[in-house]
Chain A
Amino acid sequence: MDAGFPVRLSEIRDLLECDVLCGEDRLDLEIEECFAADLMSDVLAYCRPNALLLTGLTGVQSVHTADVAELAAVVYVNRKRPAGHILDIAREKEIPLLSTPRTLYEACGILRASGFAGGSRTR
């Protein structure tokens, strides 16, 4: 089934069975493309603005990367959750953070099957 694009973040939450860690008030954000990496340098190098980031990296740099690269939101895979003070930074920057029980591979597969394009720019 192809989702109608753009897709709201709330629909991605449902697709990936996510817990919303912060940014509950921003679930109507519209997402057109996704990017997945644990290497923040790859995100900074190749990810287009407004993409959704899927990652297993829960350090503070994941939120700073989302801020600097102007990403729409971050989904942490494998039920991972960043520490409380990192959620505070994300709230301040108005970046929604979600957590999915899916692995990175599964989460990407689900989104890809739903019609999401990869949010990378050409090298």
Chain B
Amino acid sequence: MTQERPREDDVAGAPADVLYREAFRISGGDYEHGGEVAARVKAILKELGIDPACSRRLSIANFEAEMNVIMYAESADLVLEVAGDEVRVTVADRGPGIPDIGLAMQEGYSTATAEMRARGFGAGMGLPNMKRNTDRFEIESVVGGGTTLRYAVRIA
């Protein structure tokens, strides 16, 4: 994981309601650090006083998203935005894309390798887990281009 400089004051260009913004780089294939971004974001949400139940749900989605990048993509940027009424995350990867999103959203559908499964992931639970734990979940994917996830948890 390479963490970019803190961006507490860098909310320029973000929607007007954004109170805190920070971006994290996730490197594909880096299993040894898989989970660090989710853990770091969770610590930030705690510092910001976000309700623990909301923070837990978002962190579960972040962890699954992070592992998806590590398993399938070259790299990605996870951008955290805390607004007054919700915490938003965007994960835009440089990866192979998902040919059939409907299929990928089905619990149990997976294209994971044995190594991925040996880590306790890659059993076709990731995207459904993310949707279940968030209040808003959108996925866009271009085959050969990459996948972008946008999700949020309400905190109001």
Contacts and interface: CB of A to CB of B under 8 A. Distances in A.
Given A39-B125, A68-B35, A61 B120 contact: yes
A41 B35 contact: no
Contact of A44 (B32, B39, B60): B60
Interface string B24-37: 00000001111110
A65 B64 contact: no
Contacts of B120: 37-41, 43, 55, 57, 59, 61-62, 65
A68 B38 contact: yes
Interface string B103-116: 00000000000000
Contacts of A64: 34-36, 38-39, 63
Interface in A47-70: 49, 55, 57, 59-65, 67-70
B134 interface: no
Nearest to A123: B132
Interface residues on B, range: 20 to 34
Interface residues of A, number: 24
B123 interface: yes
A45 interface: yes
B123 A39 contact: yes
Interface of B: 31-36, 38-39, 42, 52, 56, 59-60, 62-64, 67, 118-121, 123, 125-126, 128-129, 132
Interface of A: 37-45, 49, 55, 57, 59-65, 67-70, 93
